[in-house]
């Protein structure tokens, strides 16, 4: 799919991976709707993403809020990048007892159910698009994590939620293919985003040593570059792509 002149919704677009993707799409001539809970950050990114960019305050777990963001798209909605997410670390049995059930549910609610909420509403809108010359109507790019495959101790909620995002990718691609809508997922490794801001220098160095090459955190622009390639390469469909420097995370 060509980016120029197309409209894209980016959830979690106010920071990190989503912000980098929104800026890159805007620089490529796309119209961008930045959806985020943080109004100040989201408006700032929209302001950096081209004249056709806009911001909509959005809780991805709220159907009406997501519908409002989709309705803000000018004309057809051609693409969605699902970057909204939360992280949580807690042992199943810790010093304070068993894992808090509501915290587990919240991570799954935002990362997995929120992603699906956006997909179901965006896909319904995309089916109404006029197809391209090849028959394509839309593309959806989700964000999982290498924790879906190499979850560490304390990541049970996060790993479950991201494994779910990986798990829905192929059935979505199979079902939506008849409408000319592609679905792919990117599974980043350790990226330098706000989620990592609270990590100690010791933890950061430990993670660096686990990456075969390059021995550093990924940059949001590298995620955005892959997302752009997924959008532009029509043969990419139904796949989860690891973007991780070859890391296979240790148990802890």
Q: Which of 55, 104, 158, 217 is an active site residue?
A: 158
Q: Determine whether 158 is an active site residue.
A: yes
The pLDDT value given to residue 59: 98
The pLDDT value given to residue 199: 73
pLDDT band at 200 (very low <50, low <70, confident <90, very high): confident
**Angle between helix 114-126 and helix 63-71 axes, rounded to 10 deg:** 40
- Mean pLDDT, to the nearest integer, of 47-67? 97
**Which of the pair, 210 or 127, is modelled with greater confidence?**
127
- Mean pLDDT, to the nearest integer, of 177-185? 98
The pLDDT value given to residue 161: 98
Q: Is the pLDDT of residue 197 over 80?
A: no
Fold of the CATH domain 7-243: Rossmann fold (3.40.50)
Q: List strand residue ranges (DSSP E) for 160-239, in order.
A: 181-188
Q: Is the pLDDT of residue 47 over 80?
A: yes
The pLDDT value given to residue 68: 98
The pLDDT value given to residue 108: 98
93-94 and 97-98: which strand pairing?
Answer: antiparallel
pLDDT band at 175 (very low <50, low <70, confident <90, very high): very high
Q: List strand residue ranges (DSSP E) for the chain, in order.
A: 7-11, 31-36, 54-57, 79-82, 93-94, 97-98, 138-143, 181-188, 240-243
pLDDT band at 224 (very low <50, low <70, confident <90, very high): very high
Rg, C-alpha atoms of the chain: 18
């Amino acid at each position: 799919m060509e980016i120029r002149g197309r409209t894209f919704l980016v959830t979690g677009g106010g920071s990190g991976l989503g912000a980098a993707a929104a800026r890159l799409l805007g620089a490529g001539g796309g119209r961008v709707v930045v959806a985020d809970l943080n109004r100040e950050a989201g408006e700032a990114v929209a302001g950096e993403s081209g004249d056709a960019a806009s911001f909509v305050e959005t809780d991805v777990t709220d159907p009406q809020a997501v519908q409002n963001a989709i309705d803000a798209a000018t004309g057809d909605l051609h693409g969605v990048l699902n970057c909204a997410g939360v992280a949580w670390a807690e042992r199943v049995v810790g010093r304070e007892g068993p894992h808090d059930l509501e915290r587990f549910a919240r991570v799954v609610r935002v990362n997995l159910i929120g992603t699906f909420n956006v997909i179901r509403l965006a896909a319904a809108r995309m089916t109404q698009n006029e197809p391209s010359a090849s028959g394509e109507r839309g593309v959806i790019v989700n964000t999982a994590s290498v924790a879906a495959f190499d979850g560490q101790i304390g990541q049970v909620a996060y790993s479950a939620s991201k494994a779910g995002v990986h798990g829905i990718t192929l059935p979505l691609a199979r079902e939506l293919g008849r409408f000319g809508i592609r679905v792919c997922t990117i599974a980043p490794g350790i990226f330098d985003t706000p989620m990592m801001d609270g990590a100690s220098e010791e933890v950061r160095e430990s993670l660096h040593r686990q990456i075969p090459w390059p021995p550093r955190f990924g940059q949001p622009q590298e995620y955005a570059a892959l997302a752009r390639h997924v959008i532009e390469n029509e043969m990419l469909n139904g796949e989860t792509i690891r973007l991780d420097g070859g890391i296979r995370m240790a148990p802890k």
